[in-house]
C-alpha cells in the first residue's frame, strides 16, 4: 500500500502545547531577572546559575540512567528550570560545592524520589533551598561575599525586622530596579514582574496564585501597618511585596504545576495560605523571610485542597 492509513481514537489534532515549550517559557521569563542580577552583582551570578543548572541536569540524567533505569527525561527541560530557580534562591557568594549539594537534594530528593516530573509533592528547587538554609545557615545568609561594596550588609527584610533601619528610609524606586540585598533572583522586582506578565500572556500560569499571594500579603501588611502607625500606610504593603522572595516565590515558585492545586478555587485558597503564612513568619517568626517555608507548607496542603476543591460540574450549583 502506497499510503499508510493511520487510526486512533479522537481527537485527531493537538493544540501544540508541550512540556518542553512551557519550561522554555519559564526559563525565558526568568532571563530578565538574571540579567538584572548579573548587572548588579557581577558575573559570578552566571557562574552559580550555570553550576546549578548543569548539576541539576546531570543528576537527573544519572538518576534516570542508573537508579530508575528508564529513558532520560532531561529533554523536557524541567531540570533546567529547577536549576535556575535554585540558583535564584542562593546568595551570590555561595561556594560552588554547596550549589552542587543543593542541586542533588533538589533533583535527587525533591523530585526523582517521588517519580520525577509531575509526581513531586514539594517544589524541588525549594526543597534544595530549605535544605541548604538549614544545613549551611552561615553561607546561606552571607550577603557580603562577592557583592559590590555598596550593597554589603544584611537584607532589607532583616534590616527592617530587627530595626537596624527604618521603613521610611527605604528607597522603593531602587527596590524596583534591583539595588537591594538578597538572593540572586529576588532583587530585580521589575524584571520579575515582566517575566510574570510574559508567562501570563503565554498562558503558562494563571493570575490566581500570584495575585492572591501578593494581595493577601499586601492586605495583611496594610492591616498591621494601620495598627502600628509610623510608616505610611501604603509603604508597608509595597515593601513586603517588593522585598525578599515575595515576587520570585509568588510568580515562579508557588505556581509550580505539580505542587499547586488544579482548580481556580483551590489556587485561591492556596495563594491566600501562602500569603498569610509568609507574613506571619516575616512579622513574628524567627526568620526575616518566610516565603519558601510558606510555599513548602502549602505544597503539603495541596493534595487536601485538590480533594475538596473540585471543579464546578456543569449543571450543578
Partner 1 sequence: MNTLVLTVLTLGVLGILLAVILYFVAQKFHVEEDPRIDEVEKMLPGANCGGCGFAGCRAMSEALVTRDNIASLFCPVAGGETMKSIAGYLGKVAPDKEPMVATMRCGGSCDKRPKVNHYDGALNCAVVNTFYVGESACAFGCIGYGDCVSACKFGALHINPETGLVEVDADKCTACGACVKACPKGLFELRKKWPKNRAIYVACRSKNRGAVVMKACKAGCIGCGKCEKVCPFGAISIENNLAYIDHKKCKLCRKCVNECPTGAIKIVNMEPLPKEPKVAPTAKSESKAEETK
Partner 2 sequence: MRTFPIGGIHPADNKEWSKDKAIEQLELPNEVRIPVVQHIGAPANPIVAKGDKVLTGQLICEAVGFVSANIHSPISGIVTAVDSLPNGQGQRQNMIVIKREGDEWIEGVDLTPKLKRECNLSSSEIIAKIKSAGIVGLGGAQFPTHVKLSIPEGQRAEILIINGVECEPYLTSDYRNMIERGEMLLTGVEILMRAIGVERAVIGVENNKPDAIAHLNTIIARDNYRGIEVMPLKLRYPQGGEKQLIAAVTGREVPPPPALPISVGAVVCNVSSAIAVYEAVQKNKPLVERVVTITGKHLQSTHNYMVRFGTPTSTLLELAGGLPEGDVKILNGGPMMGRSIVDITAPIIKGCSGITVLSGAEAARGKEGACIKCAKCVAACPMGLEPYLISKLARLQKWDMAEEHNTIDCIECGCCSYTCPSNLPLLDYIRIGKQTVMTNIRARAAANNNKK
Residues that bind partner 1 (CB under 8 A): 1, 4-9
Asked if residue 168 lies in contact with residue 238, where contact means CB atoms within 8 angstroms, the answer is: no
Residue 12 has, within 13 A of its CA and on its CB side, a CA count of: 4
Kindly list the distances between the CA atom of residue 249 and the CA atoms of 232, 253, 289, in Å, as whole numbers in the listed order. Answer: 25, 5, 11
Binding of partner 2 by 312 (CB under 8 A): yes
Backbone φ, ψ for residue 100 (5° rounding): -65, -40
Report what 106 binds from partner 1, partner 2, none; CB cut-off 5-8 Å by kind: none
**Of 139 and 306, which has the nearer Cβ to partner 2?**
306
Q: State the nearest-atom distance from the C-beta of 311 to partner 2, in Å.
A: 5
Q: Is 227 exposed, middle or buried (0-12, 13-18, 19+ CB in 10 A)?
A: exposed
**Of 227 and 317, which has the nearer Cβ to partner 2?**
317
**Of 4 and 317, which has the nearer Cβ to partner 1?**
4
Binding of partner 2 by 8 (CB under 8 A): yes
Rounded CA-CA distance 189/70 in Å is: 40
Rounded CA-CA distance 216/260 in Å is: 17
**Which grid cell sits at 247?**
515576587
Q: State the nearest-atom distance from the C-beta of 160 to partner 2, in Å.
A: 36
Binding of partner 2 by 9 (CB under 8 A): yes
Rounded CA-CA distance 7/28 in Å is: 37
**Of 20 and 228, which has the nearer Cβ to partner 2?**
20
Count the residues of the shown chain that bind partner 2, applying the rule CB under 8 A. 42
**Of 12 and 317, which has the nearer Cβ to partner 1?**
12
Q: State the nearest-atom distance from the C-beta of 10 to partner 1, in Å.
A: 8
Q: Which of 76, 72, 98 is nearest to 27 (CA)?
A: 76
Binding of partner 2 by 117 (CB under 8 A): yes
Instruction: Work out which of 148, 164, 234, 310 binds partner 2, going by CB under 8 A.
Output: 310
**Which grid cell sits at 230?**
509610623
Q: State the nearest-atom distance from the C-beta of 12 to partner 1, in Å.
A: 9
Report what 168 binds from partner 1, partner 2, none; CB cut-off 5-8 Å by kind: none
155: left (phi over 0), alpha (psi -120 to 50) or beta: beta
First-to-final CA distance of the chain:
54
Binding mask 73-92 for partner 2 (x = CB under 8 A): x--x-x--------------
Tally of residues, the chain? 317
Binding of partner 2 by 69 (CB under 8 A): no
Residues near partner 2 (CB under 8 A)? 2-15, 17-19, 21-22, 73, 76, 78, 115-119, 206, 257-258, 260-264, 310-316
Amino acid at each position: 500500500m502506497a499510503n499508510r492509513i493511520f487510526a486512533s481514537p479522537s481527537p485527531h489534532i493537538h493544540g501544540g502545547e508541550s512540556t518542553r515549550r512551557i519550561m522554555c517559557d519559564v526559563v525565558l521569563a526568568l532571563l530578565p531577572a538574571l540579567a538584572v542580577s548579573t548587572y548588579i552583582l557581577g558575573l559570578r551570578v552566571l557562574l552559580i546559575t550555570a553550576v546549578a543548572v548543569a548539576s541539576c541536569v546531570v543528576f537527573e540524567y544519572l538518576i534516570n540512567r542508573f537508579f530508575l533505569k528508564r529513558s532520560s527525561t532531561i529533554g523536557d527541560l524541567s531540570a533546567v528550570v529547577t536549576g535556575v530557580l535554585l540558583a535564584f534562591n542562593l546568595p551570590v557568594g555561595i561556594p560552588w560545592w554547596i550549589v552542587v549539594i543543593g542541586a542533588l537534594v533538589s533533583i535527587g530528593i525533591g523530585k526523582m524520589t517521588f517519580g520525577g516530573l509531575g509526581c513531586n509533592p514539594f517544589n524541588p528547587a525549594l526543597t534544595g533551598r530549605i535544605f541548604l538554609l538549614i544545613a549551611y545557615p552561615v553561607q546561606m545568609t552571607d550577603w557580603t561575599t562577592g557583592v559590590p561594596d555598596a550593597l554589603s550588609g544584611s537584607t532589607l527584610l532583616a534590616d527592617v525586622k530587627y530595626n537596624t533601619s527604618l521603613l521610611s528610609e527605604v528607597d522603593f524606586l531602587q527596590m524596583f530596579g534591583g539595588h537591594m540585598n538578597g538572593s540572586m533572583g529576588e532583587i530585580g522586582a521589575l524584571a520579575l514582574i515582566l517575566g510574570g506578565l510574559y508567562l501570563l500572556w503565554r498562558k503558562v500560569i494563571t493570575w490566581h496564585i500570584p495575585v492572591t499571594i501578593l494581595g493577601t500579603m499586601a492586605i495583611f501588611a496594610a492591616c498591621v501597618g494601620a495598627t502600628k502607625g509610623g510608616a505610611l500606610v501604603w509603604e508597608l504593603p509595597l515593601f513586603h511585596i517588593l522585598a525578599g522572595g515575595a515576587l520570585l516565590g509568588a510568580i515562579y515558585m508557588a505556581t509550580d504545576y505539580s505542587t499547586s492545586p488544579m482548580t481556580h478555587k483551590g489556587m485561591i485558597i492556596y495563594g491566600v495560605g501562602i500569603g498569610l503564612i509568609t507574613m506571619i513568619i516575616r512579622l513574628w517568626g524567627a526568620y526575616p523571610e518566610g516565603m519558601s517555608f510558606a510555599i513548602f507548607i502549602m505544597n503539603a496542603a495541596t493534595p487536601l485542597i485538590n480533594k475538596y476543591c473540585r471543579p464546578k460540574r456543569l449543571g450543578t450549583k
